[in-house]
Amino acid sequence: MAVKIRLQRKGRRKAPFYHLVVADSRSPRDGKYIERLGSYNPMTKPATIEIDREAAYNWLEKGAQPTDTARAILRFKGVLIKKHFNRGVAKGAFSQEEADKRWNEWVAAKENRISERASAHKEEKATKHKAIHGEAKVKPAPVEEAPVVEETAATEETPVVEESPAVEETPVAEEVVTVADETPAAEETPAAEASAEETPEAPADEEEKA
């Protein structure tokens, strides 16, 4: 039985993505598989590839045969270079530690190049979008909302302060009126007393006439 590493198509029409699987060569393309190794999305730039490198290397050591596209993906992710380094260890060219060190350095450099390419594509896309649509207008932040609420509260409190003095002024006006009314009453009292004093003088004149 021949075991192959190949792609299994997924996704909708005109938007495909693929699973990298290990399957029997006699099974259909999208049929049953033995193990899934990762995924491949060619619709992004650069293409998005996620793969289990250790599992893919183990299947290569067991004799699994990759298809042309699967081989290109394994080469891109460093699985074939790892097989090359381990072959050098088997021949005694260098130790296993040296092979692992070289492979880790290769993978780190490859990932850096991929990230730089992705960032360059992102900048290029932003520049193109800016050239077509122009710069986006920056909307001013609504900073004045808080002071508006405070002013409303202040205006609502003002009538309460003005009402209190008006109530205190009313009794003062009434007291002034009462004092003014009582003043003539005090002046009338001596006049009444004077008339009372003049009354007893009339009988004295009558006694003289008698």
Q: In 66-135, which ranges are continuous DSSP H helix?
A: 68-76, 79-91, 96-133
* Higher-confidence position of 162 and 101: 101
Closest CA to 42 of 18, 74, 20: 18
pLDDT on residue 178: 45
Q: Which CATH superfamily is domain 3-131 in?
A: Ribosomal protein S16 (3.30.1320.10)
Task: List the chain domain ranges.
Answer: 3-131
Average pLDDT on 58-63 reads: 92
- The pLDDT score that the predictor gives to residue 133 is 81
The per-residue pLDDT for 165 is 52
Report pLDDT for 174: 46
Q: Measured between alpha carbons, how far is 68 from 200 in angstroms, rounded to an integer?
A: 153
The pLDDT-based confidence of 169 (bands split at 50, 70, 90) is: low
> Are the C-beta atoms of 45 and 56 separated by less than 8 Å?
no
More confident residue, 76 or 166: 76
Q: By C-alpha distance, which of 24, 55, 18, 20 is closest to 36?
A: 20
pLDDT in tens, 188-208: 444 444 444 454 454 444 444
pLDDT digits (tens, 9 = 90+) for 108-162: 999 999 999 989 988 888 888 888 887 767 777 777 665 555 555 444 555 555 5
Instruction: Report pLDDT for 33.
Output: 92
